Chain A
Amino acid sequence: MFALTADQELFEKTTARYLESKYAPDHVRDLAGRPSAFNPEAWQQGAALGWTSLLVSEAAGGGSISGNGLLDLLTVAYHFGRHAAPGPLFPSNLVAMALARWGSDDQQGEPLARLIDGSATAAWCAPQRIDDPRVRGGDVSAHVSGPEIVLSGALSPVEGAGDASLLLVSATEPQGRSYVLVPVSAPGVHLVPLAGLDLTRRYHEVTLRDVRLPVSARVGQAGAGDTYDEIMFDVLATLRAAEVVGALQRCFDITLQWTRDRYSFGRPLASYQEIKHRMADMRTALEAGAAITLRAARAFGDSNPDASVWCSAAVAYVGRVALEAIQDCIQMHGGIGLTAEHDLHLFLRRAVVDTQLGGSPADMTQRVVHLLETAQGAQR
Chain B
Amino acid sequence: MTDDTIDIEEFAAQARTWLAEHMPPAPRVTGSFVLTSTNPPDDVQLARFEKCRELQRRLFDGGYAGITVPRRYGGQGLTPAHQAAFNRELVGYDYPAEIQASTFIPCMAVLLEFGTEEQKQRHIPAMLRGEEIWVQLLSEPGGGSDTAGAVTSAVRDGDEWVINGSKMWTTAARYGDWAMCLARTNWDVEKHRGLTVFSFPLTTPGVDIHPIELVNGSTEFCQEFLTDVVVSERDRVGEIDAGWDVVTRWLYHERTISGGSPYVTGRGNRAHDGPYDAFEMIATARDLGTLTDPRARALIGESHTLSLVMKALAESVSKKMAMGTLPAHAAAMARLFSGTMNIRRAAIGLELAGPQAAAWQVDDDIFAQLGSGYLIRQVSCIGGGTTEMARNVISERLLGMPREHRNDRGPFRDVPRGPEAGSTTR
Chain A residues within 8 Å of B, Cβ to Cβ:
4, 256, 259-260, 268, 270-271, 273, 275-277, 279-281, 283-284, 287-292, 294-295, 309-310, 313, 316-317, 362, 364-369, 372-373, 376
Contact = CB atoms under 8 A, between A and B. Distances in A.
B312 A372 contact: no
B305 A317 contact: yes
A283 B394 contact: yes
B402 A287 contact: no
Contacts of B297: 365-366, 369
A291 B301 contact: no
Contact of B404 (A273, A280, A292, A317): A273
Contacts of B399: 256, 276, 279-280, 283
Interface stretch (B148-156, B385-393, B408-416): B385-393
Given A365-B305, A366-B301, A279 B337 contact: no
Contact of A291 (B302, B312, B323): B312
Contacts of B395: 276-277, 279-280, 283
Contacts of A309: 304, 308
A283 B391 CA distance: 10
Interface string B261-285: 0000000000000000011001000
Interface string B307-322: 0111111011100000
B308 to A, nearest CB: 5
Interface in B214-250: none
8 contacts: A4-B323, A260-B401, A281-B336, A283-B398, A287-B313, A288-B312, A365-B298, A372-B304
Contact of B401 (A270, A290, A364, A376): A270
B68 to A, nearest CB: 26
A290 B391 contact: no
A295 B298 CA distance: 22
A100 to B, nearest CB: 28
Interface residues of B, number: 40
A317 B392 CA distance: 24
A288 B310 CA distance: 7
Contacts of A271: 401-402
Given A287-B316, A369-B282, A310 B308 contact: yes
A310 B307 CA distance: 11
Nearest to A368: B301
Given A310-B308, A365-B298, A368-B304, A291 B394 contact: no
B396 interface: yes
B402 A316 contact: no
Counting from the closest, the 4 A-B pairs by CB-CB distance are: A365-B301, A276-B395, A280-B394, A291-B316
Given A273-B404, A276-B395, A284-B333, A368 B305 contact: yes
B305 A376 contact: no
Contacts of B404: 273
A270 B403 CA distance: 10
B391 A294 contact: no
Interface of A: prevailing SS: helix
A340 to B, nearest CB: 28
B381 interface: no
Contacts of B388: 277
Given A280-B336, A281-B336, A295 B294 contact: no
B391 A317 contact: no
A133 B396 CA distance: 47
A240 to B, nearest CB: 15
A376 B401 CA distance: 47
Nearest to B390: A280
B333 A294 contact: no
Contacts of A288: 309-310, 312-313, 333, 337
Nearest to B388: A277
Contacts of B343: none
B179 interface: no
Contacts of B392: 273, 276-277, 280
A270 B395 CA distance: 9
B173 interface: no
A287 B336 CA distance: 12
B306 interface: yes
A35 to B, nearest CB: 39
A283 B301 contact: no
Contact of B337 (A284, A368, A372): A284
B402 A291 contact: no
Given A291-B316, A294-B312, A317-B305, A277 B391 contact: yes
B151 to A, nearest CB: 25
Contact of B304 (A256, A276, A369): A369
Contacts of B308: 292, 295, 309-310, 313, 317
B165 to A, nearest CB: 30
B391 to A, nearest CB: 4
Contacts of B336: 280-281, 284
A4 B294 CA distance: 38
Contacts of B302: 316, 365
A363 B305 CA distance: 13
B202 interface: no
Contact of A376 (B282, B311, B330): B282
Given A276-B391, A283-B333, A369 B301 contact: yes
Contacts of A291: 309, 312-313, 315-317
Contacts of B279: 372, 376
B396 A372 contact: no
Interface in B173-231: none
A361 to B, nearest CB: 9
A292 B313 contact: yes
Contacts of B313: 287-288, 291-292
Given A287-B317, A294-B312, A313-B309, 18 more contacts: A259-B401, A268-B402, A271-B402, A279-B399, A291-B313, A292-B309, A295-B308, A295-B316, A309-B304, A310-B312, A316-B302, A316-B305, A317-B306, A365-B297, A366-B297, A367-B301, A369-B300, A369-B301
B142 to A, nearest CB: 22
Contacts of B315: 291, 295
A294 B294 CA distance: 28
A292 B300 contact: no
Given A276-B391, A277-B395, A369-B300, A294 B316 contact: yes
Contacts of A259: 401
Interface string B27-54: 0000000000000000000000000000
Residue of A271, A277, A279, A291 with highest tally of chain B CB at under 10 A = A291
Contacts of A364: 301
Contacts of A294: 312, 316
Nearest to A285: B337
A277 B399 CA distance: 11
B305 A279 contact: no
A317 B298 contact: no
